[in-house]
Structure 1
Amino acid sequence: MNLIPTPSSRVLYLDGLRGIASFVVVVSHFIAGFFPPLYFGAEGKESFETLDAIANSPLFVLYSGTFSVFIFFVLSGFVISASAIKSKNNVFVLIIARYFRLTIPVVSSLLMAFLLLLVFAGIPQQAGSIVNHWWLAFMYQPPIPSLSVVFKEGLFNVYWSGISYFNNVLWTMRIELLGSVSIYIIYLIAKTKIRVGLLVLITLGLCFGVRQWPNSLCSFFLGALIYECWAKGWFVSNNRMGVLLILVGLFLGGLPFQPSQGTIYSIIFDYVNILTPAFNTVRIAGAACLLVGIFLCPVVRVFLEAAIPRFLGRISFAIYLVHFPLLCFIGSFCYIHFGRYSVVNMLVLIGFYFFAVLAVSYGFTVFIDEPTLRCISYLKRRIKQHGVRPI
């Protein structure tokens, strides 16, 4: 057995994991929009029994966007912990930098959604009525908000309320920012000897003591705990144990959106939900098992370091931000006028949509996300050079 090296540079296989998770989110929303019984289950309709069986099986993990989001959270906790330890900048600089690192791309995605809404107003409702499901029809209902709402949402509202009219996936930004700030503060106030204990207490408190949205923050602190173990070299390569943990993680991550009574997942959900919000906690546990399993399994790490997962990882934040407006407007428009008429047409639509998401995401990464990162990195270096003392 070989010790897994402690972090010294960018961990490429985590980029690959993030990339695959982001792509699963895209698949998830496409299925929710145009094949809803495969996502939400039969919802009482007997004609969808086969799709309902798939939606309530472990196969759901293949397109569970919610599970992928919790993978993002655990990864963010891991990465922010590494940043908090290594950075020489003032903690307030790190917090402000994190805010702008999230906000500039977020506002850009909202502007894109606003422009699409002006061109394709009413299209999601038309597509939803054809699909005969509430999910697409619920999005972008009139009246259309003004441009000022775009900036109000992007600069403040998504972090305060977790709600966005223009880009529904931005509910995660409140958790991303608060989780990041919390970890920066903990690494400021807690020395090494008590930091792990404090992280454990906070994780358990959030997991078992909170039933509202802050419960999701325990994924951040769990990611920080995984970082602490990894940084100390406590993970030892073991393919069998790694594969076992990965399978357990994927099984837990396959928790359906709405577990049907009588399935294995409904039993797990009911028992766990007595102690903690099962909707979150089961998936968080799955994400943590998956991440630790990857650390233990060299074969999987090699796969995640391949070119395609790493490319998806590079554009993963952009994928997450742009895919939802593209689905609701471009995807819905193409479905109404082309995709619904035959299986072949639908396959062409699927190919076109995913290509469009990747193309737009690549442009978004090159022209918005990566310049934002470079600018923030430059400003942090300048601040450090001018002698701002770390806190």
Structure 2
Amino acid sequence: MHLFPNKGVGLAMIITSGRVETDHLFSAPAKPAHPTAWLDGLRGIAAFFVFIYHYQHEYHKAYNWGYGGANGEKAGVEDHRLIQLPIIRLIFTGGPMVSIFWVLSGVSLSLKPIQLARSQSWDKFFDTMFSSVFRRMLRLYIPVFAVQSCVLLATLLGFYNHAHDLAKEWPFYGTNEKQFEVYDSNLGQIADWLATMWKFANPFAPHRPKYDVHLWTIPLEFRNSIILFATLVGYAKLRPRIRIVMTTLLYFYLALIEQGDVGLFIAGMGCAEFLIILDENAKRLPSFEHATDGKQSKRSQLLWTGLFVVGLWLLSWPAWGGERTPGYATIQALTPSFIKSCEMTYSRLGAALALLGLCGAAFLRTPFETPLAIYLGKISFPLYIVHGPVNHVIGEAIVPFFWRITGNESLFAYETGVVLAFAVCAAIVVCLADLVMRVVDQPSVRFGRTLQNKWSM
């Protein structure tokens, strides 16, 4: 038995209780508040692409294939669709965006420590590292546990009954995500949730927690952050050129031993140092020197743009049929046998190269400096941890509702229903993410600072 059958009123209260900051989201880009604002904007867009992926993959399969990836060897597979082309496919695939997240984490967590190390401000460096290590778990886990507590409450209230029933006999064309069991007993549900959260929190045995399988990245984010902090401390007193070489070698070593997720944090560390070097050089040069040698500037822009595009192309490595997809098949054929997963190795390399290209070419960052991108960056973490429950509780219920209006016999009718339902889900996800940002995420950051100040010597 669940506590209350009437679910509509509670949902309406949740959705309408927060005020979303929509002012100026679509206005012309103003000068960013700080030089690295584009990192937040990129994180926000990547988070929204992850939401798109986790929504649409319940209703589609074709996105998994590269363009031409079936090569006529798989009956009934449509592999010549626009969404399967490199770079375009990134909008609909989530794995590459996780790689982008991890490089961005490496950049944002490394910028201040590397600045302090380069200036040899060792007291401030130690204080920064102490603060980073102490607060990292609180920063990641408090919002997750708060949202997951709401998932438990929603389950007890009966919100998940429909999703649970659908998972038994999946009616949609796409992926049936793992769904947790809905217990008849509230105590049984609570006990199962507590056991799941206990297991989930372990960063040394990461897995996909059944109450939201998308949260598998959070323990890895924590573990890899701590490894990054140790690396920053270990490399702090190296001469800058030596540190850059060591960082590069460490990235490739981690990629070769199939620890590429850690490697992406290290790649972010390298990108952070590169950004700092560019900033230092810009401050040293007189302003008139920036306008000289235009040809060199154009060559430099072409180089960084090329690196960015190559990175995006590698990042687009197909989940299915990469060994037959034009271009990727050639690379895979030339790849040594000790590299077990071309998809993971090369797509992660692509994330690192794409971020490096953005670091070198400021003009490429413009889309990530818009008010909308910056706003999505502000709510990116809450958006990531709320979109899964919304997809299951609301998305899976309203897609059939819209199909009753549009029909689903033709491709156009099918996709119209999916898109209309997505628009509703997107509005709800953004509202909830904004609410979680205000009520949970920002207070958790302040709580971490307060605890650090009270407990520090």
Query: Which residue is 2:314 aligned to?
Result: 252
Instruction: Give the deviation of 1:254 after TM superposition.
Output: 1.1
**Whole-angstrom distance in 1 between the partners of 2:249 and 2:366:** 34
Q: How do 1:25-36 residues align onto structure 2 when only pairs under 5 Å count? A: 25-36=50-61
Partner deviation per Cα, 1:289-343 (whole Å, 9 max, x = no partner): 2112212222222331110000000001111111112112211111233346523
Partner deviation per Cα, 1:223-273 (whole Å, 9 max, x = no partner): 111212222228987432232222112111111121354312233345447
- State whether structure 2 residue 351 is matched by structure 1 residue 287: yes
**Whole-angstrom distance in 1 between the partners of 2:270 and 2:198:** 30
Partner deviation per Cα, 1:183-211 (whole Å, 9 max, x = no partner): 21122233232544443343222111x23
What are the ranges of 5 or more consecutive residues in structure 2 without an aligned counterpart? 1-32, 117-124, 283-296, 407-412
Contact 1:56/1:256 (<8 A) preserved: no
Partner deviation per Cα, 1:262-288 (whole Å, 9 max, x = no partner): 312233345447343322221221111
**Whole-angstrom distance in 1 between the partners of 2:34 and 2:196:** 35
Structure number with the higher helix fraction is: 1
Greater CA deviation, 145-154 or 220-229? 145-154
Contact 1:19/1:315 (<8 A) preserved: yes
Q: SS of the counterpart of 2:358? A: helix
Q: How do 1:113-262 residues align onto structure 2 when only pairs under 5 Å count? A: 113-117=151-155, 118-123=158-163, 126=166, 129-133=170-174, 135-136=175-176, 138-142=177-181, 144=183, 146-154=189-197, 157-158=200-201, 159-163=203-207, 164-190=209-235, 191-193=237-239, 195-208=243-256, 210-211=257-258, 214-233=259-278, 238-262=300-324
Partner deviation per Cα, 1:325-377 (whole Å, 9 max, x = no partner): 21122111112333465234433212101111111111111111111112223
Greater CA deviation, 374-383 or 312-321? 374-383
**Whole-angstrom distance in 1 between the partners of 2:443 and 2:197:** 18
**Whole-angstrom distance in 2 between the partners of 1:251 and 1:61:** 9
Contact 1:13/1:310 (<8 A) preserved: yes
Q: Residue 328 of structure 1: which of 384, 392, 395 is its match?
A: 392
**Whole-angstrom distance in 2 between the partners of 1:340 and 1:160:** 46
Distance 1:266 1:170, change over 3 A: farther
Distance 1:166 1:307, change over 3 A: same
Distance 1:155 1:376, change over 3 A: farther
Q: Residue 304 of structure 1: which of 354, 368, 372 is its match?
A: 368
Distance 1:155 1:300, change over 3 A: farther
**Whole-angstrom distance in 1 between the partners of 2:394 and 2:153:** 12
Aligned residues: 373
Q: How do 1:339-378 residues align onto structure 2 when only pairs under 5 Å count? A: 339=403, 342=406, 343=413, 344-378=416-450
Greater CA deviation, 150-159 or 287-296? 150-159
Query: Which residue is 2:409 aligned to?
Result: none
Distance 1:246 1:275, change over 3 A: same
One-letter amino acid of the counterpart of residue 120, structure 1: Y
**Whole-angstrom distance in 1 between the partners of 2:224 and 2:404:** 42
Greater CA deviation, 317-326 or 113-122? 113-122
Contact 1:187/1:195 (<8 A) preserved: no
Distance 1:303 1:141, change over 3 A: closer
* Identity in percent: 22
Contact 1:125/1:139 (<8 A) preserved: no
Q: SS of the counterpart of 1:119? A: coil
Contact 2:59/2:173 (<8 A) preserved: no
One-letter amino acid of the counterpart of residue 179, structure 2: Y
One-letter amino acid of the counterpart of residue 17, structure 1: L
RMSD: 3.0
Distance 1:321 1:195, change over 3 A: same
Q: How do 1:45-64 residues align onto structure 2 when only pairs under 5 Å count? A: 46-50=75-79, 54-55=83-84, 57-64=86-93
Instruction: Give the deviation of 1:67 after TM superposition.
Output: 0.6
**TM-score with structure 2 setting the length:** 0.73
Distance 1:204 1:347, change over 3 A: closer
Distance 1:257 1:79, change over 3 A: same
Contact 2:59/2:172 (<8 A) preserved: yes
Partner deviation per Cα, 1:45-92 (whole Å, 9 max, x = no partner): 744415667436443122221111000001111111124445552745
**Whole-angstrom distance in 2 between the partners of 1:112 and 1:331:** 17
- State whether structure 2 residue 154 is matched by structure 1 residue 89: no
**TM-score with structure 1 setting the length:** 0.84
**Whole-angstrom distance in 2 between the partners of 1:270 and 1:175:** 31
| Higher Rg | 2
One-letter amino acid of the counterpart of residue 65, structure 1: G
Partner deviation per Cα, 1:126-159 (whole Å, 9 max, x = no partner): 27722144x22x4214355732444454455242
**Whole-angstrom distance in 2 between the partners of 1:152 and 1:98:** 23
